[in-house]
Structure 1
């Protein structure tokens, strides 16, 4: 790994560096929105996944201590009724030879359960540009191509050091009870003091969404999922400027949470973290990750880092993918 500090205007950036520019130091790039970190090359499709270099992945293996494996995906049919009127997962078994051989078929929306938001999912709203200057015409229509497709992540691979910030446990043990199904904001001051964060870490934040889901009845779950847009709310990260700087300057390879939105929802105005993370900085966003057993084991051993792998679907042109993620302790 390089021992150098990356100069802001020396493009393309070297992912092997050990120090990178702060958000306030980013160069203004031609034909890019202010604050865009399209710095890994004009044809780059990986964004911050570039930070998962062979050396960092190898170093991350040192976080495997017990060998316990924890799957971080919810079942594909959970939640039974996805929010925002997304399609319900459907599974059918096809008989090939009666009593002898079978296939199965799926119909699904990749946003319906544990997922990665890919770079095709969300643009910078003001310019309508996606990561690294892609536009909607790259995705749909006669000129469509494979820019920002999820299959680039699949071909590269996602593996590295995961770090869990169990905010739900912290809040309940510090007399800060809240409802995860409301737009409760997790603030910068509460997150930034946590742990030993390294360049290329994959950040996981537990807000309590999955915990509450399991505590609800099927009728309550359906009522929650079918709330009107103005009543739809979930706990998640705040959108303070300090939070944005922290998320950028830590140089996470990816971020994920157990809530359906990662950031607190709904968002007032055009202030979404999604457009900063996905479109401007190229940071994958994971949503509805199952962090319950992982949090329990991390609390038990008093250690919050682990080796993490994820295998996005190899779908050329894909927008997102179920995470297929595993933590190895």
Structure 2
């Protein structure tokens, strides 16, 4: 009897791994220490999961691509520290003054414990109001109403609420690794490309590729001959923070309070990563541990497709997604030194049951 094709392929992969000293992820749960992972087109079908789901780290996994931040990768990333300069990437908690999408304004109160002796702080905030990580509870695969690793709305709120995909899992795991910055805004200024970060402007894969090339980076994954390593954290600067600081308070508030509706007619409009299939393939196949941008949406908003990148990144792949990072100083320093990789760390809030978190992140050059 002929050997099943899948068994034959596995044996061929094992032989190839032996010859090349690689370790390919095959059986679920995947070993995060593997050196080769399937492309998006090669993902195995997972019973009960939406098509294209990469729920591959185990039934009770709630950190997703953070699994790729193994001790050996973090130790390797630490070698990026050369000058020791620390660059925080967090906006002040009260920036933006009026958050987009109708979110609550940050409020800070100083509580007097004993006048002239002791004081406390009281914060009232929406974790989506400033520099933030979108947790896996934040955005579902819309057509199935499913969050990462088969988490449902009833797991998040209601009498059966539990800790599936809670943000505290990230806090207990920790986030640290090699960061890579693509300063698209700086590249656009250099090339005379004009766009408004407060309007829909999709940045294509080709534009990102040319931006990387201008910086001396091949943005393809190492498996395809590029410079992106498994477990890297991607940062993309679109210029939203730059544009924010150039506007008056009145302009900022008016733009933040634009009418929000689902679909192409949404008044909330921002520059960001294109939703084209080539971008989706690249984001998946690079095996980033996390991705982040400086705008309120990361992807170009509103989506002009029948899907959102948020669905792929959060619900299908379990990849942390950051928004409204302050990348201004980092971009200046990277350009001055002509180096675009660095050590990055973040301490998400240890909030059992939490949806998202402020980043508490910093870069060390």
Query: Shorter-normalised TM-score: what interval?
Result: over 0.9
Pair 1:122 & 2:139 matched? yes
In structure 1, C-alpha distance between the alignment counterparts of 2:354 and 2:199, rounded to whole Å:
31
Secondary structure at the aligned position of 1:231 is classed as coil
In structure 1, C-alpha distance between the alignment counterparts of 2:61 and 2:209, rounded to whole Å:
29
Task: Quote the offset at 1:5 in angstroms.
Answer: 3.4
Secondary structure at the aligned position of 2:234 is classed as strand
- Correspondence for 2:254: 223
Q: Which runs of 4+ in 1 moved over 6 A?
A: none
In structure 1, C-alpha distance between the alignment counterparts of 2:202 and 2:150, rounded to whole Å:
31
In structure 2, C-alpha distance between the alignment counterparts of 1:268 and 1:21, rounded to whole Å:
28
CA deviations on 1:207-232 (whole Å, 9 max, x unpaired) are 00000001111111111111122322
- Correspondence for 1:6: 24
1:148-163 → structure 2 map (5 Å cutoff): 148-163=165-180
In structure 2, C-alpha distance between the alignment counterparts of 1:7 and 1:301, rounded to whole Å:
37
- Correspondence for 2:33: 16
- Correspondence for 2:270: 234
- Structure 1 portions without partners, runs of 5+: none
Question: Which of 295, 298, 309 is the matching residue for 1:273?
Answer: 309
1:24-43 → structure 2 map (5 Å cutoff): 24-43=41-60
Task: Quote the offset at 1:269 in angstroms.
Answer: 5.0
Question: Which of 80, 84, 88 is the matching residue for 1:67?
Answer: 84
Secondary structure at the aligned position of 2:332 is classed as helix
Contact preservation (8 Å) 2:25, 2:36: no
Number of equivalenced pairs = 327
C-alpha RMSD of the superposition: 1.1
The structure whose Rg is larger is 2
- Correspondence for 2:100: 83
Pair 1:303 & 2:346 matched? no
Question: Which of 318, 322, 338 is the matching residue for 1:286?
Answer: 322
Secondary structure at the aligned position of 2:149 is classed as helix
CA deviations on 1:77-128 (whole Å, 9 max, x unpaired) are 0000001110000000111111111111000000000000000001101111
Pair 1:315 & 2:351 matched? yes
Pair 1:107 & 2:124 matched? yes
In structure 1, C-alpha distance between the alignment counterparts of 2:279 and 2:23, rounded to whole Å:
23
- Correspondence for 1:134: 151
Contact preservation (8 Å) 2:275, 2:305: no
Is 102-111 or 190-199 further displaced after alignment? 190-199
CA deviations on 1:240-299 (whole Å, 9 max, x unpaired) are 100000000000000000000000001135310000000000010000000000000000
- Correspondence for 2:234: 203
Task: Quote the offset at 1:143 in angstroms.
Answer: 1.0
- Structure 2 portions without partners, runs of 5+: 1-17, 218-226, 261-265
Give the TM-score normalised by the residue count of structure 2. Answer: 0.88
Contact preservation (8 Å) 1:234, 1:260: yes
In structure 2, C-alpha distance between the alignment counterparts of 1:67 and 1:278, rounded to whole Å:
32
Contact preservation (8 Å) 1:162, 1:306: yes
CA deviations on 1:290-326 (whole Å, 9 max, x unpaired) are 0000000000000000000000000000000000000
In structure 2, C-alpha distance between the alignment counterparts of 1:212 and 1:172, rounded to whole Å:
13
Question: Which of 175, 182, 187 is the matching residue for 1:170?
Answer: 187
Task: Quote the offset at 1:142 in angstroms.
Answer: 1.1
Question: Which of 68, 84, 107 is the matching residue for 1:51?
Answer: 68
CA deviations on 1:15-63 (whole Å, 9 max, x unpaired) are 0011110000001100000000000011111100000000000000010
